[in-house]
Amino acid sequence: MAWAGGAEPRGDGHGDKRPAWDNRGQYLLSCIGFAVGLGNIWRFPYLCQTHGGGAFLIPYLIALVLEGIPIFYIELAIGQRLRRGSIGVWTAISPYLGGVGLGCLTVSFLVSLYYNTVLSWVLWYLLNSFQDPLPWSSCPLDINRTAFEAECQASSTVSYFWYRQTLNITADISDNGSIQWRLLACLAASWAVVYLCVIRGIETTGKAIYFTALFPYLVLTIFLIRGLTLPGAVRGLIYLFTPNVRTLRNPRVWLDAATQIFFSLSLAFGGHIAFASYNPPRNNCEKDAVTIALVNSMTSLYASIAVFSVLGFKAANDHGRCLDRNLLRLLNAFDLPDQSISRDDYAAVLAHLNASRPESVARLPLEVCHLEDFLDKSASGTGLAFIVFTEAVLHMPGAPGWAVLFFGMLFTLGLSSMFGNMESIITPLLDMGVVRRSVPKEVLTVGKLLAAGVRQLRGSPEPHHLRLLRGGRCRLRVRDTPVQR
């Protein structure tokens, strides 16, 4: 691939020129795709709702300025100037810091295993979304096919599909249970998709990133437009962003804001160092760091609006059904004509009956129906994606289409994050000479996916005297000392 500009790349210590991005857009989209992940969709909105709504943005923005952007800039700068993966750059700064790079590689490896497991769940739901009605819209029949499953009726259809039909969880953590062959097939398919996308490093990920990084924004926009037209959407947004400044007194709020910035930008994983190492040395990494960090934060806010507009609709729908159940009990208990009481008149009628016939009302199993209580039932992580949001989709016209869009968005979000995790492992292996560059990249990628040789890393065969090229915006200095093998 041709260089996007700047100085000629240095050798990598093995006689070959380092690959480079086809253009700056590929690099920016790769960093954005790695930074913008599932946490932007199912973690940030939950933190806003839990920690004072709009007030949470204060510690979040402070953490972004004081923690996120500076560390992110350092990662891009050292990767770009030293042109190596995480282990190489930290060993070059000081031989005693080589363990930091090794830690980045190890964490990326472990996160890749977890992340792709989540992708297998998303893929399973995506495949099941091509059905009408959706399989989690109703309870299945029991063995005798004479009634619905009692476990499903005791909980809910979406919970039953998630915990029983998808995960088939056991009663105790010490019980391993049996292999879920459907999930195993989805896991193999997820790894196959990742392999095809990273088969030749940035040569293939740079092409795939155009879709995986941009498609989620298209889906978020579609959900935002649709969500804002649903009843209850405004109440959901008001509930989300209504500030509660008193929560800022809690140190936990500031800790969660700093943690969210750290993980949302994918700091200290080594992926951004690897991506930046394929840049020309004179690239303006300072501008890149600010741009990518701001895009990541704006995406979190954008996703929060889209998600809570739909969750507001779900809460309003649940609140209405709760009122309908209470209205039916009142109509039956007091022999009132059908549809004689509307939802808007429920509070006034209940107050009148409480004043005139309190004993009769007290005997009725009336539910407490407050909209805020249903808004409080939002969740984060897998609970939001596979339970709360899937239930909200059921109440939307054309539910299968919205389910396909939602889980397709989650799959591409996770896929673009996997690109960074994979690159943070493959790049150090190549730079350290653990795997020769003469080995085809297809074989190397398969070896990484099988985790062969990851635990046998012993050191970094760096050149003896490593100097930084001067000029450009990234003027980082490294001590000119031999690097221990």
pLDDT in tens, 319-330: 898 988 888 888
According to DSSP, residue 456 is labeled G
pTM here is: 0.82
The β-bridge partners of 174 are: none
The count of domains in the chain is 1
Q: Evaluate whether residue 4 is within a structural domain.
A: no
Is a pLDDT exceeding 80 seen at residue 9?
Answer: no
| CA neighbor of 432 nearest in space, from 84, 68, 47 | 84
Q: Evaluate whether residue 480 is within a structural domain.
A: no
- Quickly count: other Cβ atoms within 10 Å of residue 385's Cβ: 22
Instruction: For residue 205, give the CATH number of its domain.
Output: 1.10.4160
User: Residue 462 — very low, low, confident or very high, per pLDDT cuts 50/70/90?
Assistant: very low
Q: Evaluate whether residue 341 is within a structural domain.
A: no
Q: Evaluate whether residue 465 is within a structural domain.
A: no
Percent of the chain residues topping a pLDDT of 70: 85
**What's the pLDDT score for residue 326?**
87
3 state DSSP class of 141: strand
Average pLDDT (139-145) is 82
pLDDT in tens, 64-81: 999 999 999 999 999 999
**What's the pLDDT score for residue 439?**
58
Is a pLDDT exceeding 60 seen at residue 407?
Answer: yes
Is a pLDDT exceeding 90 seen at residue 185?
Answer: yes
Tokens standing for residue 144: 């005798």
Residue partners of 14: CB distance under 8 A and separation at least 6: 433, 436, 437
Tokens standing for residue 34: 């790695």
Q: Evaluate whether residue 479 is within a structural domain.
A: no
Q: Evaluate whether residue 16 is within a structural domain.
A: no
| CA neighbor of 285 nearest in space, from 137, 70, 12 | 70
Q: Evaluate whether residue 346 is within a structural domain.
A: no
**What's the pLDDT score for residue 61?**
94
Q: Evaluate whether residue 367 is within a structural domain.
A: no
Domain that holds residue 163: 24-324+372-456
The top-scoring range by mean pLDDT among 27-31, 241-245, 345-349 is 27-31
